[in-house]
Amino acid sequence: MKKNNFGLIGKTLDHSISDVLHQEIMKEAGIKGSYGMFEVEPENLEKVIASIRVLNIAGLNVTIPYKQDIMRYLDEIDQKAIEIGAVNTITLKENKAIGTNTDYDGFKLCLDKAGISISKNGFTLLGAGGAAKAVIKVLQDEQASKITLISRNPDKTKLEYPDFEILPYDEIHEIKDKYCLINCTPVGTYPNIEECPIKKEDIKKYSNVVDLIYNPQKTKLLKLADEYGINNINGLYMLIGQAIKAQEIWASKQALDLDDKKPLIDNIYEDIILKFNL
Ligand code: NAP
């Protein structure tokens, strides 16, 4: 089997676990390849696509802060990534750089693992950044009944969708359908692990809580959800799901089909937790 080279670009990758995660997936799926981590300065972003052609890199993941900026340098972008407005996975195919978004698939896997159903349910999102965009697309595609976004600056938020409301934090209590709360902000991650994005009393009425953060495994928000007996999940399955989907695309096969390979996904999950002591 031909050995393929893959990798990740971002500005600061000190805390990324993507190399170990992809090596784990490739091992489990019998894919022969390497995965490199490439820190790129903003002024060099335009040279990335030429570089991967020269280095014969078959697939690239993209992380903060380049998921939007990279789009202008690609030859093709699929409809899903255009609608989300962000690319996290690039495939080099017949010398063309093609962008897609697999955070979308990762987020679906995360909700599935927590038994959270989307159709006809109301969702509250905290934070209007890049991750929120992929989350919103999933919720819209799967017919959530209502999506409310909570932002520190509702007036400045550029996200605009039909049937979509943006409120400031002090109006969160006005939301009626409290099926699921999703933290799409970095609040609660290292080093500020005692921080919680909303007040205790605003968490209590939700039936489900999702935190896209996976390090620590239990953020303050999820600890409070546990305390109140609320079903909750962190972002590790999302991270694993987006990586598996990227490998599927690069391998041009359903080698790791997210629906049919649940034991394999769980093995990867357990291994990653053990390796990183999450
Ligand atoms: P981002 O674009 O930098 O920011 C997210 C949003 O959070 C911001 O736009 C802002 O929204 C809000 N925010 C930022 N700092 C805040 C603060 N100190 N207090 C309150 N709100 C704040 O980041 P992102 O790419 O969306 O990622 C958000 C989080 O999700 C990160 O922790 C990231 O690691 C995680 N993530 C996880 C996965 C996964 O696979 N599990 C994938 C993607 C992202 P407003 O200005 O509207 O308030």
The first and second tokens of residue 128, run together, are 């209007």
- Whether 192 shows a pLDDT value over 70: the answer reads yes
Q: Which CATH architecture has domain 5-101+237-276?
A: 3-Layer(aba) Sandwich (3.40)
- The residues spanned by each domain of the chain are 5-101+237-276, 105-234
> Residue 242, annotated ligand binder?
yes
User: For residue range 75-109, what is the model confidence (pLDDT) as tens digits?
Assistant: 999 999 999 999 999 999 999 999 999 999 999 99
Provide the pLDDT for residue 274. 84
Shared fold status for 5-101+237-276 and 105-234: yes
Q: Is 255 annotated as a binding residue?
A: no
Owner of token pair 């595609």:
141
182 in contact with ligand 1, CB cutoff 6 A: no
Q: What is the pLDDT of residue 268?
A: 87
How do residues 138-176 score in pLDDT, each as one tens digit?
A: 999 999 999 999 999 988 777 776 667 999 999 999 999
Ligand 1 centroid–CA 152 distance in Å is: 12
CA pair distance 82, 99, nearest whole angstrom: 9
pLDDT range class, residue 126, cuts 50, 70, 90: very high
Lowest mean pLDDT among 45-59, 121-135, 259-273: 259-273
Cα Rg of the chain, angstroms: 19
Angle formed at CA 122 by CA 159 and CA 203, multiple of 5 degrees: 95
Q: Is 122:144 a contact under the CB 8 Å cutoff? A: yes
As a whole number of angstroms, the distance between CA 253 and CA 256 comes to 8
Write down the catalytic residue from 67, 108, 133, 178. Answer: 67
The yes/no answer on whether domain 105-234 falls in CATH 3.40.50.720 is: yes
How far apart, in whole angstroms, are the C-alpha atoms of residue 220 and residue 130? 22
Helix, strand, or coil (residue 64): coil
Query: Measured between alpha carbons, how far is 95 from 221 in angstroms, rounded to an integer?
Result: 45
Q: pLDDT grade, residue 201 (50/70/90)?
A: very high
Predicted local confidence at residue 277, as pLDDT: 73
Q: What is the pLDDT averaged over residues 187-205?
A: 94
Give 238-273 pLDDT, tens digit per residue.
999 999 999 999 986 655 555 566 677 888 888 888
**pLDDT, tens digit, for every residue of 23-33?**
999 988 888 89
In total, the chain counts a number of residues equal to: 278
Residue 125 pLDDT greater than 70, yes or no: yes
